[in-house]
A and B are shown apart, each in its own frame.
Chain A
């Protein structure tokens, strides 16, 4: 309860501001239309108009919720949960690329981190470039990645997953390097007195102590994967997925559709991050760390 109340308060406050903003931002169009039609609007009519326009500058919250429901729950009731007009279908497309990218990105990130911790040359040469690689705008090179992969015959899910992996590997590398190095000298010395080999040190000390760091970076990596999967949908023709919905929404000026896809994506991200937190809590509890 003491968690929910503050969140609710903030959400309600945002709603109030949002509704007010919707009036302010959509007013001009409503007045424009009325003037052209030669009628004058009363304040009440003006406000209700700003909250129910077809292509508002800022849709009112209930319009977004209605659209979300229409394209998810409403579709399920109609018995067509996987129709292409359903956000469940598009969400699923995005989700599958996200998960594939997340798995590739995390594995690559962990391997690279292990390499960096155990190989001095790699540590010194790769790290600065890993940072530089993240300053490259992915949206700019995404089409090239798709075309290059296309030319060697790779299509479909994989190119999107690779773009999503590109975004998610970096936080994992940074977090894991920190985590694998987190055992202090005392602990490392202790293992040396046990005459532990390199691999034993890794499995019994370094890896377990890196777990809290791993989970933190997994959460960031997951959110990044989702963004990557959405970005990857654009240069593949933007035919399916939440990114495609946002783009076609923007293309046809359907603001409500953009907003509902936007929220669907954020809800998806929150759910995935929530699942990781749950696993984290159980696992750390088992390890006796939390």
Chain B
């Protein structure tokens, strides 16, 4: 039934395509509208998608949105996700495939208050750490796994599911919280703690970095040449957007603000975020670096007794789209 409907829908799109109308692509973001996704908003605003004959809809995510679920349900054609949760989903029977990787480096880190006496990862046992869940806990769990630190309290660390903000470290409920270089870290600073009162551990520096914000589609769709062609154009335009955003960070931030419908984002925060994001996208032309992929897989499988994925995934990425897009 589902297939039937999708078929009918694809048929509709095809007939629309022959009538020279723009083809629809729906992108599901991993999180709310913010400069983390500037490249896509820039491509939309500056007409890069239009030039490729695409009519792109961007759906913001949020704490209660699982992008993979939306993709499986047919609510989006392509999604942004972190590789750990995408690979875990793949092992759970959701056949998602990485088609492009605009983010080269990881922005994830653990931020601690200096007065808790934490100076190195060896000091973690006995402390309380805030972690995001909802599929974002995998990098943390693999890191702890590779350090050999338990996450069940006792001799190991006590883990809190931190909400969507940095309150636990401000209110003293946790010794460390998870932060992104481009977002939560600055919220701590904004709240009044200064950088020299904090100690940060970047996943990148600890050698346990996993790939973030990549583009993923359903495997079955890749069998369809028309779909592949749309993705090639989508990736090409998106990367154009990213490079524009890297070159014009403050303009890009303003474009993102335009698209933020909650009206809760501030200019300062977005401009700063864009600056940090540019550091992470720099060095990627959109194509996945297989070495990074292998490192991510190795990190995820090294998770001690309870690894995030149990066997090396096959076919979890394809170079076809980026090869064609970057030609």
Point out residues on A near B: beta carbons under 8 Å: 29, 33, 36, 55, 57, 83-86, 89-90, 139, 142-144, 147-148, 150-153, 155, 234-240, 244-245, 247-254, 257
Contact = CB atoms under 8 A, between A and B. Distances in A.
Given A239-B262, A253-B165, A254-B264, A143 B66 contact: yes
Q: Which of B9, B171, B261, B262 has the most CB of A within 10 A?
A: B262
Contact of A237 (B65, B74, B192): B65
24 contacts: A36-B197, A55-B191, A83-B263, A85-B263, A90-B262, A144-B69, A147-B69, A147-B72, A147-B73, A150-B70, A150-B74, A151-B2, A234-B62, A237-B60, A237-B65, A238-B32, A238-B262, A240-B261, A248-B264, A250-B164, A251-B165, A252-B165, A253-B165, A253-B170
A284 B147 CA distance: 72
Nearest to B58: A237
Contacts of B171: 57
B74 A247 contact: no
Contact of B262 (A29, A155, A235, A244): A244
Q: Which of A83, A234, A247 has the most CB of B within 10 A?
A: A247
Contacts of A238: 32, 60, 62-64, 262
A29 to B, nearest CB: 8
B33 interface: yes
Given A245-B262, A253-B187, A237 B62 contact: yes
A144 B65 CA distance: 9
Contacts of B261: 84, 239-240, 244
Given A142-B64, A247-B63, A250-B164, A151 B264 contact: no
Contacts of A239: 32-33, 60, 261-262
A148 B1 CA distance: 13
Given A248-B32, A251-B32, A234 B167 contact: no
B5 interface: yes
B117 interface: no
B163 interface: yes
Interface in B67-125: 69-70, 72-75
B166 interface: yes
Contacts of A153: 5, 9
Contact of B264 (A29, A57, A155, A249): A249
B150 interface: no
Contact of B64 (A155, A235, A240, A253): A235
Contacts of A257: 264
B64 A148 contact: no
A222 to B, nearest CB: 24
B304 interface: no
B262 A250 contact: no
Nearest to B197: A36
A143 B64 contact: yes
Contacts of B63: 234, 238, 247, 251
Given A90-B262, A248-B262, A253-B187, 15 more contacts: A29-B170, A84-B260, A84-B263, A86-B263, A90-B263, A147-B75, A150-B74, A155-B75, A236-B65, A238-B63, A239-B262, A248-B32, A250-B163, A252-B264, A253-B165
Given A84-B262, A249-B264, A147 B70 contact: yes
Nearest to A140: B64
B111 to A, nearest CB: 14
A153 B12 CA distance: 13
Contacts of A249: 264
A247 B164 contact: yes
Which 9 residue pairs across A and B have the least CB separation, nearest first? Answer: A150-B75, A85-B263, A248-B264, A151-B73, A84-B263, A147-B73, A237-B60, A251-B164, A235-B64
A240 B262 contact: yes
A147 B69 CA distance: 7
Contacts of A254: 264
